[in-house]
Amino acid sequence: MVRTRFAPSPTGYLHIGGARTALYSWLYARKMKGIFILRIEDTDLERSTPESVQAILDGMAWLNLDYDEGPFYQTKRFDRYREVVAEMLAKGAAYRCYCSKERLEALREAQIANKEKPRYDGHCRHLTQASDGPFVVRFKNPEQGVVEFDDLIRGKLTFANTELDDLIIARSDGTPTYNFTVVVDDIDMEISHVVRGDDHINNTPRQINIFRALEKTPPHYAHLPMILGSDGKRLSKRHGAASVMQYREEGILPQALLNYLVRLGWSHGDQEIFSMEELIQLFDLHGVNRAPAALNPEKLLWLNQHYMKHGDVAFTMKELAWHMAQLNINTNDGPPLADIIAAQSERTKTLREMAERSRFFYEEIVLSDEMRAQISVEIIPAIQKVCEKLEKLSEWEKTKIHEILVAAAEEAGLKLGKLAQPIRIAVTGGTISPPLDLTIQLIGRERVIKRLQKIFKQG
Ligand code: GLU
């Protein structure tokens, strides 16, 4: 049975690198009809925050990456870690180390002076008697041989044990350390496949040694290449939105973000658009690229527009309603959001932009002097005519509205555009909107008449 996990440390937001790791891990579990687990690695008490835990949970929920088990919190498992530390001490797989800070510091300095890699020298490894005083617990890493594993993405990797020192598994206050808790959890949660960023690749041989010391079979590993900024440099804050929820605020749909993320490091021919069902079917860890993937913001916008146009309307409506609320636009009085999506998705790339550009459908407009100046006096009689006809129009519908506009322009000897743009300004307050007939239909008769009257009544 395939069992995967996403194991973020809650020391910041869920960023897109983490989201991609979660997605790959989730997809693989779904594909294999396995189990996906969420585990919060919050043992670093100084850097972990409840806000960050919440941000991770929110991000996962928004992306709809559901987990079958968890969230498990490492801070709630300290008793279990203590138990395993005791077990390892008892069977001689770990030992107490009483070395003082000063000794370790001097050792380190001497090694650096000798151009050696700083590492613990095993001083306490062979002590036969327990001493008094504070101690840490170290893992007895094998002194010889190699650790070899077949990474599903990187292929065979080999590390010499002489490169690995006896890492601390419990600090002097008894708290467990990172590489150790990961192994205990991966064992207890029966993880079959560890999918994580390749920044962890050097931890893997240490973890495999701990697995073996505990007489457990290590899982399969898949280390994902990093994500680079669009400039090819390592991803950082400079590259704009990095947290998943910031993408939401910018008006990206989760389906678009998932589709974008999956392609950062995996492909299927040159297919760009994938439904979730397709991904579950097609995705495979073996197919993940070894090379780092670079962000491509234009691609994300393109995908987003695709999902705004063709995605699940009910879902897009919910997201759009969220954006409207963010912008304090009350959408109770005005066209249904589904109509806004149909009208605006052709000319907007994000839901945020769509919401910003749709205020005039729901709220009174303010015509700036600059806009007002674009409606010339000669046009006003034609605007008045249009208004009168609209007032009497029996069926409030865009083709009928269109006919009125065409007829009025013809009568006034104007090109349609020459009349349409001032009317657009009059009814929307700006120069950008969906086709005017549709815009008028959606704004609704009462508001349109009032806005047009304002123009010619003021003269
Ligand atoms: N907690 C680690 C991190 O956030 C991930 C550990 C793992 O996946 O093994 O980088």
- 200 close to ligand 1 (CB < 6 Angstrom): yes
Give bridge partners of residue 94 from the DSSP assignment. Answer: 139
Q: Smallest Cα–Cα separation from 245: which of 440, 12, 13, 5?
A: 13
- 8 close to ligand 1 (CB < 6 Angstrom): yes
Residues 324 and 288 in one domain: no
Residue-wise pLDDT for 382-435, tens only, equals 999 999 999 999 999 999 999 999 999 999 999 999 999 999 999 999 999 999
Cα 293 to averaged position of ligand 1 atoms, centre (Å): 20
Secondary structure of 341-401 in the HEC alphabet? HHHHCCCCCCHHHHHHCCHHHCCCCCCCHHHHCCCCHHHHHHHHHHHHHHHHCCCCCHHHH
pLDDT confidence of residue 337: 98
What CATH number corresponds to the domain at position 281? 3.40.50.620
Residues 123 and 215 in one domain: yes
pLDDT confidence of residue 240: 67
**Which atom from ligand 1 is nearest to the alpha carbon of 207?**
9
Q: Where is the domain boundary, 301, 323, 342?
A: 301
> For every one of its 459 residues, what pLDDT tens digit does the chain have, with 9 covering 90 and above?
999 999 999 999 999 999 999 999 999 999 999 999 999 999 988 999 999 999 999 999 999 999 999 999 999 999 999 999 999 999 999 999 999 999 999 999 999 999 999 999 999 999 988 788 999 999 999 999 999 999 999 999 999 999 999 999 999 999 999 999 999 999 999 999 999 999 999 999 999 999 999 999 999 999 999 999 888 888 776 776 579 999 999 999 999 999 999 999 999 999 999 999 999 999 999 999 999 999 999 999 999 999 999 999 999 999 999 999 999 999 999 999 999 999 999 999 999 999 999 999 999 999 999 999 999 999 999 999 999 999 999 999 999 999 999 999 999 999 999 999 999 999 999 999 999 999 999 999 999 999 999 998 864
Q: Looking at the domain assignment, is residue 307 inside a domain? A: no
**Which atom from ligand 1 is nearest to the alpha carbon of 11?**
4
Can you give the residue range of the structural domain that contains 373? Answer: 364-459
Q: Looking at the domain assignment, is residue 306 inside a domain? A: no
Cα 196 to averaged position of ligand 1 atoms, centre (Å): 7
Residues 82 and 212 in one domain: yes
- The CB density around residue 129, as the number of other CB atoms within 10 Å, is 4
The total number of structural domains that make up the chain: 4
Question: Which of 3, 6, 9 has most ligand 1 atoms within 8 Å of CB, for mutation?
Answer: 9
- 182 close to ligand 1 (CB < 6 Angstrom): yes
- 7 close to ligand 1 (CB < 6 Angstrom): yes
Cα 182 to averaged position of ligand 1 atoms, centre (Å): 8
Which token pair is 12?
């910041």
Residue-wise pLDDT for 127-166, tens only, equals 988 788 999 999 999 999 999 999 999 999 999 999 999 9
Q: Looking at the domain assignment, is residue 414 inside a domain? A: yes
Q: Looking at the domain assignment, is residue 382 inside a domain? A: yes
**Which atom from ligand 1 is nearest to the alpha carbon of 178?**
1
pTM of the model as a whole:
0.94
Question: Which of 75, 196, 201, 208 has most ligand 1 atoms within 8 Å of CB, for mutation?
Answer: 196
The b-or-e profile of 316-337 (16+ CB within 10 A means b, else e) is bbebbeebbeeeebebeebbeb
Residues 108 and 183 in one domain: yes
Is the peptide bond preceding residue 218 cis, with omega within 30 degrees of 0? no
**Which atom from ligand 1 is nearest to the alpha carbon of 199?**
10
Residues 119 and 35 in one domain: no
- 9 close to ligand 1 (CB < 6 Angstrom): yes
Using DSSP's 3-state secondary structure scheme, residue 336 falls into: coil
Cα 51 to averaged position of ligand 1 atoms, centre (Å): 18
